[in-house]
Amino acid sequence: MDLTEERFCLNCGAALHGRPDKVFCNTRCKNEWHNRINGDEKRRRERVFGILWNNYKILETMLELQEHTPAISSLEDAGFRPGYITGFRKLRGRNEFRCFDITYNKTEARLYNIRRAPELL
């Protein structure tokens, strides 16, 4: 077993000395690394949530306008991103998509049956 294996700081890449479980050279490196990782995660979470929220507002508008079978292409023109959903299930052979408390079915070209979902148990 090689006990002299070189290890490097996760943050700055400097060679580490001392305890074998050490992963950062010092507290500053540890804090910088955690801030960077948490920052990336926060930005990603905010970006994805922003897309879902935009989808939700578009679906709400469809409900208000009683637009029952909007073309996906026109929704996409308004910023709708069909790949972003909060839930999915097969119900009586049909694919049911969910965006928070709004559910819908879809064909290749259109959404249909857009509705407020009953509360989930």
Which H, E and C letters describe 9-50, residue by residue? CCCCCCECCCCCCCCCCCHHHHHHHHHHHHHHHHHHHHHHHH
The continuous run of DSSP H or E covering 121 comes out as none
Q: Which residues contact 71 (CB under 8 A, 6 or more apart)?
A: 109, 110
Burial class (CB in 10 A: 0-12, 13-18, 19+), 13: exposed
30 vs 110, which CB is nearer to Zn ion? 30
Q: Least distance from C-beta 42 to Zn ion, angstroms? A: 22
Radius of gyration of the chain (CA): 24
10 or 51: CB nearest Zn ion: 10
Nearest distance, CB of residue 18 and Zn ion, angstroms: 13
Under rule CB under 5 A, which residues in 10-69 are in contact with Zn ion?
Answer: 11-12, 14, 25, 29
Q: Residues in contact with Zn ion, total (CB under 5 A)? A: 6
Residue closer to Zn ion, measured from CB, 26 or 107: 26
Kind and range of the H or E run holding 90: strand 87-91
| Near Zn ion by CB under 5 A: residue from 9, 23, 63, 85 | 9
Query: Which CB atom, from 25 or from 102, has the smaller least distance to Zn ion?
Result: 25
CB of 28 to Zn ion, least distance (A): 8
C-beta of 2: minimal distance to Zn ion in Å? 23
Binding site for Zn ion (CB under 5 A): 9, 11-12, 14, 25, 29
